[in-house]
Amino acid sequence: MRIEHAFLFDLDGTLVDSVYQHVLAWKEALDTEGIDLSIWRIHRKIGMSGGLFTNQLLRETGIEITDEKNERLRHLHAEAYRRLGAQIRPLPGASELLQWLSDAKIPFAIATSGRMETAAVNIAALGIDPEAFPVITRDKVKYAKPDPDLFIAAAEALGVAIENSVVVGDAIWDMLAATRCKALGVGLLSGGYGQEELRNAGAIRVYEDPADLLYHIDEVGGRR
């Protein structure tokens, strides 16, 4: 008897080439609030929960991040990101990978630490119907990555056991979350993290981008 499984995708840096737009949007937001943080430090936090982002920011800068300031930063980031939205493109093979899964009748969902205000920009760039599959955003769960809530909610929306799911992401936060909910983690290099970093965080396989994953789809449970 075949075990029903599913693919649960991160969005930024996994399906769309948007990590550096997020970095620049956060840099603009932080600069507006008078918070000086190097771009490379921002990049290392993309993909984690916004709350954890600001907690780490507090530790690194010593600046008090109040709820009011945190909310301002979030809105400033979203506004800057929407302006950069025209630059965002699907990563190589992303559309083809999702189409292959649809044709193979393998369920999939998107689980992103971004809120819908920014996720909508990425979904539009993908050119896919967001009603055709579950899209779980930060707005729908209590905690975001590296907590596993997003992926658990995505698996539940598909009616598939999380232990039988394959989590595909570009960041260590995705792999840590996958490990915590006993899903299989598959890493992509398209977000800027290295192969060793992703493997150390729990990835069982690492590929270059969605196109490379599709080429090796049989290695991670893809069967027509």
Prediction pTM value? 0.90
The question of whether 12 is a catalytic residue gets the answer: yes
Q: Are 81 and 112 in contact (CB under 8 A)?
A: no
**Is there a catalytic annotation at residue 209?**
no
Find the DSSP H helices in 62-183: 67-83, 94-103, 116-126, 149-158, 172-180
Kindly give the confidence (pLDDT) of every residue in the chain, 224 residues in length, as a single tens digit, with 9 standing for 90 and above. Answer: 466 789 999 999 999 999 999 899 989 999 998 888 888 888 888 877 666 777 777 677 777 777 888 888 888 988 998 898 888 999 999 999 999 999 999 999 999 988 888 888 888 888 888 788 899 998 899 888 899 999 999 999 999 999 999 999 999 999 999 999 999 999 999 999 999 999 999 999 999 999 999 999 999 887 76
Neighbours of 190 (CB within 10 A): 25
DSSP string, 181-222: TTPEEEEEGGGS--HHHHHHTTEEEEESSHHHHHHTGGGGT-
